[in-house]
């Protein structure tokens, strides 16, 4: 057995050192390059993309709809990588009364050579992890309904494409939803974190990317008015929006649709900034948690959430990172399909496709992990994580 393990380990390194690009996918209310002036989504005041490039990695970041559904975000993700006209699909567009092919959503492509011989690594923070899995689903399946009464088939939805993704990494992702989405009903969860920042640096940069709704910022429209119009749009009453996908029931529906691929390496990075309160089942923020995060960490640490069928979360959901319940980050699970297979990453074993390897980072909140709102220690740990994980991805065997 030891000999077999050694041979597997050796073979992994012999056929390693892939140079496939890493695609970074922001989460809810996130932004792309230059949308927030000099303040980076990936790194805050630092630039994680530049840091990783200096380490020898090829890195691209996308800018998908910050409040859009995972279906629409995944389609935008595809065309931003490959290039072409965004096409949300005829049936989806008719169902939700959106523009199927928004005129200004046409892309040259960050990586036009993307195909089964040139796959990519997807890293998604928060909702970005859900979006990565949705893209996996859309690539794996031909959406036959796109042929019905539709002369020109969607490039993405009208066919299946295998082996375009080598790995998916989710960071602080609410795979099974977050109870914060249930607590802050009929509002935009988490928006308070960066709305102030966007207003300070100049809101001409930030765009909600909702052209498919026929929604755009009016000339001379103030930032508060822009947000108000977006928050009160009719789309929030549908399931074609981020708030549904981030909810417990929305995530369950998503996980029923999307299965795990036997050909992809999966990693889930779990963050936690709370501890169990003395003589209580509730959780409270640990030392070093930012002031902005502490309030929501307390809320998540002491209140239950509910699925649409009335079932309630238990005390295992109290540990959190200030935005997402830590238990939700390990691996996707649904009532009908059960949980995806997952194991703790130990660092020494030959890695297998078709299961999640989880890595847990304590005293690290939802924003610290990508370089925001942390002190020196958390900032340093965040940078070290990104460098080490990018190196880990480079060692994955090429297909």
Q: What is the pLDDT of residue 7?
A: 45
φ/ψ of residue 23, rounded to 5: -105, 125
Q: How far apart are CA 392 and CA 167, in angstroms?
A: 11
Closest of 92, 89, 83, 168 to residue 130, by C-alpha? 168
CB count in 10 Å sphere of residue 277: 14
pTM above 0.85, yes or no: yes
Residue with tokens 């940069």: 205
Catalytic positions are: 126, 321, 366
Element (H, E) at 379: helix 376-394
Per-residue pLDDT of the chain (399 residues), as tens digits, is 444 444 444 444 444 578 999 999 999 988 888 777 778 999 998 999 999 999 999 999 999 999 899 999 999 999 999 999 999 999 999 999 999 999 999 999 999 999 999 999 999 999 999 999 999 999 999 886 655 555 567 889 988 999 999 999 999 999 999 998 766 544 444 444 455 555 544 445 678 899 999 998 888 888 778 878 887 888 888 999 998 999 999 999 999 999 999 999 999 999 999 999 999 999 999 999 988 889 889 999 999 999 999 999 999 999 999 999 999 999 999 988 899 999 999 987 789 999 999 999 999 999 999 999 899 999 999 999 999 999 999 999 876
Q: What is the pLDDT of residue 36?
A: 77
Closest of 267, 248, 251 to residue 124, by C-alpha? 267
Q: What is the pLDDT of residue 13?
A: 44
Q: What is the pLDDT of residue 232?
A: 84
Q: What is the pLDDT of residue 225?
A: 84
> Is the Cα torsion angle 199, 202, 204, 209 positive or negative in sign?
negative
- Number of residues written out for the chain: 399
Tokens encoding 121: 């690594």
* Structural domains of the chain, with CATH: 2-394 (3.40.50.1820)
- CA distances to 91, 251, 259, 273 from 134, in Å: 17, 11, 10, 28
Q: What is the dihedral of CA 158, 162, 163, 167, to 10 degrees?
A: 70
């Amino acid at each position: 057995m030891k000999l077999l393990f050694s041979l597997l380990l050796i073979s992994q390194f012999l056929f390693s050192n892939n140079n496939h690009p890493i695609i970074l996918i922001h989460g809810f209310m996130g932004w792309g390059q230059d949308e927030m002036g000099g303040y980076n989504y990936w790194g805050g005041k630092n630039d994680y993309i530049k840091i990783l490039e200096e380490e020898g990695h090829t890195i691209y970041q996308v800018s998908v709809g910050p409040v859009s559904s995972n279906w629409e975000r995944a389609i935008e993700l595809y065309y931003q990588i490959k290039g072409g006209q965004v096409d949300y699909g005829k049936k989806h567009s008719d169902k939700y009364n959106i523009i199927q092919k928004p005129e200004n959503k046409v892309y040259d492509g960050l990586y036009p050579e993307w195909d089964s011989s040139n796959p990519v690594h997807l890293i998604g923070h928060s909702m970005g992890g859900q979006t990565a899995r949705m893209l996996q689903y859309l690539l794996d399946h031909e959406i036959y309904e796109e042929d019905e009464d539709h002369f020109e088939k969607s490039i993405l939805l009208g066919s299946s494409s295998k082996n375009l993704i080598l790995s998916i990494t989710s960071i602080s992702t609410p795979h099974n939803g977050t109870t914060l989405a249930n607590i802050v009903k009929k509002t935009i969860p988490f928006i308070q974190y960066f709305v102030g920042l966007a207003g300070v640096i100049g809101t001409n940069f930030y765009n909600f990317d909702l052209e498919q709704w026929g929604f755009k910022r009016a000339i001379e429209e103030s930032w508060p008015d822009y947000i108000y119009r977006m928050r009160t749009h009719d789309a929030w009453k549908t399931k074609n929006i981020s708030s549904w996908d981030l909810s417990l029931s929305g995530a369950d529906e998503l996980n029923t649709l999307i299965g795990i691929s036997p050909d992809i390496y999966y990693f889930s990075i779990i963050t936690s900034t709370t501890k169990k309160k003395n003589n209580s089942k509730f959780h409270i923020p640990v030392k070093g948690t930012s002031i902005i995060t502490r309030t929501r960490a307390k809320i998540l640490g002491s209140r239950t959430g509910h699925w649409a069928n009335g079932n309630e979360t238990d005390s295992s959901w109290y540990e959190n990172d200030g935005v997402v319940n830590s238990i939700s980050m390990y691996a996707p699970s649904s009532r009908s399909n059960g949980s995806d297979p997952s194991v703790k990453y130990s660092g020494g074993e030959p890695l297998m496709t078709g299961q999640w390897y989880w890595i847990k980072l304590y005293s690290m909140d939802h924003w610290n992990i990508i370089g925001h709102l942390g002190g020196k220690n958390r900032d340093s740990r965040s940078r070290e994580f990104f460098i080490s994980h990018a190196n880990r991805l480079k060692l994955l065997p090429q297909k």
